[in-house]
Amino acid sequence: MAGEKAAGEKKPGEKAAGKKKTGEKKPAEQKASQKEGGEKKKKIKKHHASRNPVLARGIGRYSRSAMYARKALYKRKYTAPETKIEKKKKEKPRATITKPVGGDKNGGSRVVKIRKMPRYYPTEDVPRKLLSHGKKPFCQHKRRLRASITPGTVLILLTGRHRGKRVVFLKQLGTGLLLVTGPLVINRVPLRRAHQKFVIATSTKVDISGVKIPKHLTDAYFKKKRLRKPKHQEGEIFDTEKEKYEITEQRKTDQKAVDSQILARIKKVPQLRGYLRSTFCLSNGVYPHKLVF
């Protein structure tokens, strides 16, 4: 009897406790689910393992259509939201333009097509090229950097007008070239690009941890400018192209901005300034493959 009572008591007790628990669970669950939802938004959803078991290498158990159904892609159709800018851009491009025409009694203007029909169709069509894969344009190439080259490393330039000079490495630019500076007051090397392959990385490093390099120093900033508007007067074509390179004021200010930070750090290391001023050279009995840089 006592046992039954106890058992009896247990049940309502449990139920009450259960109810309480469920009662409590709901707000707790809500909070938990909210938290999870919040976390899920930040976390990437855990990906399901492959739903297509492998029979042999390259061969799955299910066909494309079967997989479509298994992955429930009929439910998962996403389109990117159309932004207001894209909505505005749905304007059609102009097809014709009116241009003024000179001459007397000519009507003053003509309506000219912007995109004209081709003036020549070849007799044989160009054959369709076969698909190739992995042939990326230069802008998409992978840029690598040798492990020995880190920001602040002293590099020895091997080619160019500054060959043999020791120079401080700042960062790698988007095309993979290295941004490098003398500093200018030490060895007359300005902010310049250098190619990784034509450089020896020494083990001497300057601490450049806090140096801020202006963000506008990109490849476009350093690219050589070529004027291209010859009016086909054969005597003068060569004159219009820039022969003399002029140092712009912007380059000077950028140089100062970067160098002032670096010079302070160079002064801290004894003899480093003199080292950067000197040039590298080989002499008798000195073999590059035996040198430790």
Partner 1 sequence: VFKRFVEIGRVAFISFGPHAGKLVAIVDVIDQNRALVDGPCSGVRRQAMPFKCMQLTDFVLKFPHSARQKCVRLAWEKENINEKWAATRWAKKIEAREKKAKMTDFDRYKVMKAKKMRNRIIKHEMKKLQKMSSKKGKKPEKPEKSEKAQKSEKVQKAQKAQK
Q: Which residues contact 110 (CB under 8 A, 6 or more apart)?
A: 98, 99, 101
Count of residues of this chain found to bind partner 1 when the rule CB under 8 A is applied: 16
Q: Judged by CB under 8 A, does residue 222 bind partner 1?
A: no
Considering only 149, 156, 158, 173, the residue that binds partner 1 (CB under 8 A) is 156
Q: For partner 1, which stretch binds (CB under 8 A), given 61-69, 178-186, 202-210, 239-247?
A: 202-210
CB atoms within 10 A of CB 72: 9
CA 179/CA 170 separation, integer angstroms: 6
Nearer to partner 1, 49 or 292 (CB): 292
Range list of β-strands (E), 197-246? 199-205
Select the residue interacting with partner 1 from 204, 221, 222, 273 (CB under 8 A). Answer: 204
Name 102's Cβ contacts closer than 8 Å, sequence gap at least 6. none
Q: Given its phi and psi angles, is residue 176 left (phi above 0), alpha (psi -120 to 50 degrees) or beta?
A: left
CB of 147 to partner 1, least distance (A): 16
Contact by Cβ (8 Å): 160, 210: no
Residue from 33, 253, 264, 293 touching partner 1 (CB under 8 A): that is 293
Q: How far is CA 243 from the centre of its chain?
A: 33
Q: Of 204 and 261, which CB lies nearer to partner 1 in the complex structure?
A: 204
Site for partner 1 in 161-190 (CB under 8 A): 166
Can residue 288 be called a binding residue for partner 1 (CB under 8 A)? no
Figure out which of the listed residues 202, 222, 263, 273 binds partner 1, where binding follows CB under 8 A: 202
Question: Which amino acid, residue 233?
Answer: Q
Residue 154 interacts with partner 1 (CB under 8 A)?
yes
Give the x-and-dash track for 249-278 against partner 1 (CB under 8 A).
----------------------xx-xx--x
292 binds partner 1 (CB under 8 A): yes
Report the alpha-carbon distance of residue 199 to residue 180 in Å, rounded.
11
Q: Per CB under 8 A, which region of 76-84, 111-119, 196-204, 228-236 contacts partner 1?
A: 196-204
Among 186, 171, 256, CA closest to 218: 171
Is the CB of 217 or the CB of 262 nearer to partner 1?
A: 262
What is the C-alpha to C-alpha distance for residues 65 and 63, in angstroms, rounded to an integer?
6
All residues at 6 or more sequence positions from 266 whose CB lies less than 8 Å from its CB, including other chains: 168, 183, 186, 206, 272, 273, 276
> In this structure, what token pair is assigned to residue 236?
């003068």
Nearer to partner 1, 136 or 290 (CB): 290
Interface mask toward partner 1 for 100-139; x: CB under 8 A? ----------------------------------------
Q: Minimum CB separation from partner 1 for residue 278, in Å? A: 6
Cα-based angle 167, 172, 178 (whole degrees, multiple of 5):
40
The answer to the question of residue 79 lying near partner 1 (CB under 8 A) is no
Smallest distance from partner 1 to CB 146, Å = 16
Residues that bind partner 1 (CB under 8 A): 154, 156, 166, 202-204, 271-272, 274-275, 278, 280, 290-293
